[in-house]
Amino acid sequence: MFEGKLPGASDPPVLFLLASFILYFRSWSSQASQGLIRWRPFLGFIVTTALAGSLGAVHSLKWVIGRARPYEVWGQNWPFSEWYEFGPHFINEGIYRGSFPSGHSAVILSLLTLSYIWFNGGSNRPRARSLAISWGVIVIILTVMMGIGRAISASHWLTDSLGMILPTWAVLHLLFFHLLKLPVQLEYFRSSPSLTDLPRFWELKFCGLCLPILLGMMFIIFGFRSVRFQETPWLLSMVLIGVLLVSFFWPRMKSFYSQVFQIIHGNPETENVRTK
């Protein structure tokens, strides 16, 4: 944050995410106010989006794709690669910051979580939905401006930012409606305001179970990519490690997820929402 310079466009979203994490932990406290408790499902959505999208997906793609940044291509004679191709970076070179996708743009896109919250959870629906749509347009414009700025500074290719808007938006949409099922959670909350039946910090636990699965998939790709590098054939063994990680944690993740939503779906009101 701030990178030792004056505050930039990505710093307010970072502060927003940090504040959301603090409020999320506070909302599970026994001393939490009713107003904060009412925001608990939304805070869980923001936290999951930050971990799954702005952090997990972005940094895993940076490592796997390994695209060189513009200043490396222009100033250090690195080979250029399209956004959909594997770049010259590889894991045996140590820790690096790949170009695709842009983390700065992904952090700004995380502000779209507020549009989903206002559009689907506002008390004054017409006004809240107008605010949600307006805010969504502002966030997209800010993301485009960030992408242009990062391209001008030779830190990213334009496709690093603009090419990830729709995929990141799709992940956020899937999290809200299909994975975390916020409409169903809200119905459960209305009938059980304290949410005492749910495991504490269950969204964080779910993300923690997904992390080894993500690492396993990265290891599998790293292993097959190593075939292209004659000096590192031993990295093909990472495929086995990746398969073991996925095989071990996938059923545990599914079991935990099913446990949480069995509690939520066990309420008659939430069952009605789920079947609509």
Assess if residue 3 is contained within a domain: no
Inter-residue contact 47 to 205 (CB < 8 Å) = no
Q: Residue 154 is encoded by which pair of tokens?
A: 């030779």
Same domain? 38 vs 128:
yes
pTM (2 decimals)?
A: 0.86
Where among 180, 196, 212 does a domain terminate?
A: 180
- Could you tell me the pLDDT band of residue 181, with boundaries at 50, 70 and 90? very high
Indicate whether 144 and 195 sit together in one domain.
no
Q: Which pLDDT score is estimated for 17?
A: 92
170 and 186 assigned to the same domain? no
Cα–Cα distance between 45 and 111 in angstroms, integer?
12
Q: At residue 230, does pLDDT exceed 80?
A: no
Task: Provide the pLDDT for residue 194.
Answer: 59
Residue ending a domain, among 180, 208, 243, is: 180
Other beta carbons less than 10 A from residue 198's beta carbon: 22
Number of domains comprising the chain: 2
Q: Which two tokens stand for residue 211?
A: 């992390």
pLDDT per position as a tens digit, 148-157: 999 998 989 9
pLDDT digit string, tens, across residues 55-93: 788 888 888 888 888 998 988 888 888 877 888 887 766
For residues 176 and 91, state if they share a domain: yes
Residue 228: how many CB atoms within 10 A of its CB? 9
DSSP per residue over 95-138, as a string?
S---SSS-HHHHHHHTTHHHHHHHHHH-SSHHHHHHHHHHHHHH
Residues 144, 260, single domain; the answer is no
131 vs 35, more confident: 131
Locate tokens 């689907």: which residue? Answer: 120
**Count of CA atoms in the C-beta half-sphere (13 A) of 134:** 6
Which of 141, 158, 180 marks a domain boundary? 180
